[in-house]
Amino acid sequence: MRQLIFQIGLAKGAILFLDVAAYWFVVLFSGLRLALLPQYVILFVILILSLYAFGAYDMSRNMGLHSRILSSSAGILVGAVASLPLLFLFPENIHRPQFFAIVGMGFILTGLSRTFIVRALQGLLPERHVVVIGRKDEWSPLFEEISTQMGGKLFVTAYLNPTPVTLDAALEDCRGGCGVLVADPKLYAIAEVQAHGEFLQRTGVEVAYLPKLAEETLKCIPMQCLRHHGNYYTTALGNISPDPAQRVFDLVCSGIGLFVALPLMIVIAAAVRLEDGGPALFRQKRIGLNGRPFTMHKFRSMSLHSSGTEGQFDQEAQYVTRTGRIIRKLRLDELPQLWDVFRGVMSLIGPRPEMESFHVQCMDTIPFYRYRTRLRPGITGWAQVRYKHTTTHEDYVHKTEYDLYYVKNRNLLLDLQIILRTVETMLGMKGAR
C-alpha cells in the first residue's frame, strides 16, 4: 500500500508542476513586471491553495471528468476572489487586463490538464491486490467504497477466515506480489495468523493496518475502524488539545469580522425584529470544549410561534420566517457566533456544537463521540463542507466520522481547505435548509 500511496503522491506532484509552469507562463506571456513580483507570488499561492482545497490534486478519489473540471474551476474562481483583499493592500497592483488573463487562462489550462493528463496518470497507476485479515460479510462494503474512491485500483484477493486451510491458501497468494491489510486486529492476534504475517514480512510482503488507508482515501474515520482499532484511536484522539496559535488566529479574525460585519448585523437584527416584533438573537445552550456547556448565539430565523427548539429538523421548517429563509441560505444567521469565537467558547473551525440533550444521546450511542469536544466547536467544520445536512441519527454517525477525522488530522492546510469550501457553500447557497 505504501507503494500505491507513493505513486499517487507522484501523480499529485506532476499535476502541481504543470499548474506552476502554466501560471508563470501566462504571467510572462501577459507582461511580467518585476516590481509586482510579490503580488504575482501572493496570487499564485492563493490560487494553488484554493485548487488544493477544492480537490484538484486529489488523485486518490475516482472523480469523474465533469467533477474534476468543476472542482478546478471553483478553485480558480474562489482563489481569485480571495486574493483581492490582499492585493489591494499594495499601492501598485497587477493591471486588470493581466489579472483577468491569468484567471481566464487558469480556467482553460487547469481544465485541459485535468481532462487529458489526470486520466492518463490514473490509467498508469498500478492495480493493487490485497488479502484482508477480516471477515468478508463485515468488511466487504467498506473495501468496496475504498476501491471506488481509488478509481477501482484496489482488489481484495481474499478475506481471511482463520481456519488452517483458508489461511494457508489466502496468505500463500501474497507471495506473488499481494499485500496484507489488517482490518481486524483480533484476528491478526491469533498466533497462527500472526506467525504467517511475520513470515511474509520477512520475505518482503507489506503488512499494513487499515486506518491509514481508510483515512487517506475516504477523508474520514469509518466507524468500523474506530471499533476494531480502538486502542490506536483512543491514544491518537486522547492526546489532542486546542492549539494556542489557533486561538490567536480566532481572536484576530473574529475581531476583524465583527468590525467589518457590524453594519450588516445591524440591518439583519432590524429586519428580524420588524418582521414579528420578537428578539433579534436566538440563544441556546450547546456543548463546548471538554464537554462544558455554553450559550451560543444566532440571529433568530424562526417565528415566535415555534416551540423554541430551533434545531429540531422535523418541525422547524414550517416556522422559518421570510427573513430567516434568506439569512439561512446565505449562512448570515451564524454571524453572531463571531462574538462567541471572540470570547473564547467557540472557534472559527471545528466540530459544530450540539444541544445538550442530543449530545448526551450521542454519547451513549456513537463510539468515540466524546472526542469531538477535544477541540473548541466551530462556526464551520470538516463535516459541514464534506457531508450533507444532518437530519437522522445515521447521518450524525457519518458526520461524527468526519468530525473525528478533523480532530485527529487538523493542520493549517486542512483549515484553509475548510475556509475555502465554506466560501463556496455560501456563494452557492448549498447550506440552505
**The predicted structure's pLDDT at residue 227:** 93
- The strand pairing partners of 302, in sequence order, are 320
Question: Residues 47-84: pLDDT tens digits?
Answer: 888 887 777 776 655 555 556 666 777 788 888 888 88
Residue 286 has pLDDT above 70, yes or no: yes
- Going by pLDDT thresholds of 50, 70 and 90, the confidence category of residue 163 is low
C-alpha cell at 129: 491486490
Q: Sign of the C-alpha dihedral, residues 399, 401, 407, 410?
A: negative
Q: Find the mean pLDDT for residues 213-218.
A: 90
**The predicted structure's pLDDT at residue 32:** 84
Residue linked to cell 462494503: 141
H runs (alpha helix) in 125-156 = 136-149
Identify whether the C-beta of residue 221 lies closer than 8 Å to the C-beta of residue 211: yes
Phi, psi (deg, nearest 5) at residue 334: -85, -10
% of the chain surpassing 90 pLDDT: 34
pLDDT higher at 288 or 422: 288
C-alpha cell at 401: 466520522
CB atoms within 10 A of CB 30: 16
101 burial type by CB count under 10 A (0-12 exposed, 13-18 middle, 19+ buried): middle
Query: Considering only CA atoms, which of 13, 14, 86, 89 is closest in space to residue 47?
Result: 86
CA distance 231 to 265: 47
Query: Considering only CA atoms, which of 385, 370, 394, 205 is closest in space to residue 291?
Result: 370
Amino acid at 40: Y
Amino acid at 250: D
Q: Find the mean pLDDT for residues 235-246.
A: 91
Q: Find the mean pLDDT for residues 330-350.
A: 94
Q: Find the mean pLDDT for residues 6-31.
A: 78
Which H or E element spans position 158?
A: strand 154-159
**The predicted structure's pLDDT at residue 429:** 47
**The predicted structure's pLDDT at residue 119:** 64
- The strand pairing partners of 297, in sequence order, are 283
- Going by pLDDT thresholds of 50, 70 and 90, the confidence category of residue 165 is very low
Of the given ranges (173-182, 197-206, 321-330), which has the lowest mean pLDDT? 173-182
CA distance 8 to 5: 5
C-alpha cell at 94: 497587477
Question: Residues 323-333: pLDDT tens digits?
Answer: 988 888 888 99
**The predicted structure's pLDDT at residue 433:** 44
Residue 316 has pLDDT above 70, yes or no: no
CA distance 415 to 394: 26
Which H or E element spans position 349?
A: strand 347-349
Question: Residues 91-118: pLDDT tens digits?
Answer: 888 888 889 888 888 777 776 776 676 6
**The predicted structure's pLDDT at residue 416:** 79
Q: Report pTM.
A: 0.77
What's 302's DSSP letter?
B
